[in-house]
Amino acid sequence: MDEPSLLKRLSFLMDAELFGHHKRVAFYSGQIASVFLPEWESDAVLAASVHDIGKIGIPDHIFQKQGPLTEKEWELIRLHPLLSVQILRKVCADKIDPVVIEGVRHHHERWDGSGYPAGLQGEEIPLFARILAAADSFDAMTSFRPYRASLSMAEALEELKKGARTQFAPAVVDIFVRLFSGGVSAKRSGKGGEKGMEDAMRLIKQWADEGEIERIFALLTETADPAAREAAFLQLMRCGAPQVVDNFILLLSSPEAHLRGLAVEALQELGAGYLERLEALLFAEDQDLKILCFNVLSGVKSKKAAIPVRRYLRRCLEGLAAGGKKDAENALAAAVECLGEVGEREDVELLKSLVSLLEGKGEHSYLLFTIKEAEDKLWLDLT
């Protein structure tokens, strides 16, 4: 294995989410760079595949922190492009083009000069860095983050357009929109964007008619092509069979953040018919999975979504009252936040009982803050 491949492998070992992020940013960056000049595609892919590897040098607790970061913590995060450059220099400086290193170094610069590490402006920013900045943000917008839903591809493209000339290079945004708004890149399909999308929809529809749900799921989870992914997703939503629900529930445990995000989005749209199966996961050991389930429930448009959340919180209350161990703070906070979204005024009592049990049991400032927010929301909800 050569050194650049070794670094890509290292990013996978560091963190499956970071690897998934690198992989998707590499796909977008490669496609955009090749529009400027086909020979640039492989270098853009390499730069994107390792751009955040310097995060290895930042303490994990900063990335996992709930609530706002301190200025000191931001300073550390802003060091990561320079740490990425140091790693590239040490491991494989003689094997990679300097444009790759400069692209990585400046991938958080902004078109208006307010970015970091150097505050470069407009065309002072190296081209690969301009491409990486747009691809990086696009993936962040379309990927799942705890406590907020991911944007659709169309919504994320609109955000890129809004940021052209302030955050992003206008020429890069234009290419992004041209390549991805119709779905399939003309270059990839070889048939023209819209034609490629139509073909994908027709083929997937045929699979749905033949009951080949697993095949559509395989396409959804394995393709790097955003249009094919969107076509598969739409068809599964239309089909809505129990098998579709089962597969999306399984996908909540995927190591890839964007797939977990898709599962959350899908389950919210699929309604409330599967709530019992989801409720079982609220009592599992996996805290991240619990949080995702609360995330799903927050967006289900049915009063029934509050039932499993109440049951979960009552069980936690009984446990606490009996002197048992508290569930992980962030899982409890996610449940509280979810009840604030889907609950009713009467649920304020449940939250008040939780506050009285937590008082005198150590430091729970984040949780207590979340409870207060949820209470306010429930009081304000007049529907």
Residues in touch with Fe ion (CB under 5 A) = 52
Nearer to Fe ion, 53 or 216 (CB): 53
Q: Are 266 and 237 contacting, i.e. CB atoms less than 8 angstroms apart?
A: yes
- Minimum CB separation from Fe ion for residue 48, in Å? 11
- Minimum CB separation from Fe ion for residue 38, in Å? 26
- Minimum CB separation from Fe ion for residue 215, in Å? 36
Nearer to Fe ion, 62 or 272 (CB): 62
Phi first, then psi: what are they for 313, rounded to 5°?
Answer: -65, -35
Nearer to Fe ion, 33 or 282 (CB): 33
- Minimum CB separation from Fe ion for residue 52, in Å? 4
How far is Cα 67 from Cα 49, in angstroms, rounded to an integer?
29
Q: Which residue is nearest to Fe ion (CB)?
A: 52
- Minimum CB separation from Fe ion for residue 291, in Å? 24
Nearer to Fe ion, 52 or 139 (CB): 52
Nearer to Fe ion, 52 or 256 (CB): 52
- Residue partners of 340: CB distance under 8 A and separation at least 6: 373, 374, 375, 377, 378
- Minimum CB separation from Fe ion for residue 108, in Å? 6
Nearer to Fe ion, 109 or 327 (CB): 109
Cis peptide, bond prior to residue 117, ω within 30 of zero: yes
How far is Cα 163 from Cα 225, in angstroms, rounded to an integer?
24
How far is Cα 136 from Cα 134, in angstroms, rounded to an integer?
5
- Minimum CB separation from Fe ion for residue 258, in Å? 17
146-155 core/surface letters (b: 16 or more CB in 10 A; e: else): eeeebbebee
- Minimum CB separation from Fe ion for residue 120, in Å? 15
- Minimum CB separation from Fe ion for residue 70, in Å? 19
Tokens of 375: 């209470």
Nearer to Fe ion, 160 or 281 (CB): 160
CA angle (305 as vertex; 299, 306 as ends), nearest 5? 110
Nearer to Fe ion, 137 or 330 (CB): 137
Q: Are 87 and 7 contacting, i.e. CB atoms less than 8 angstroms apart?
A: yes
Nearer to Fe ion, 132 or 316 (CB): 132
Phi first, then psi: what are they for 145, rounded to 5°?
Answer: -130, 140
227-243 core/surface letters (b: 16 or more CB in 10 A; e: else): bbbbbbbebbeebeeee
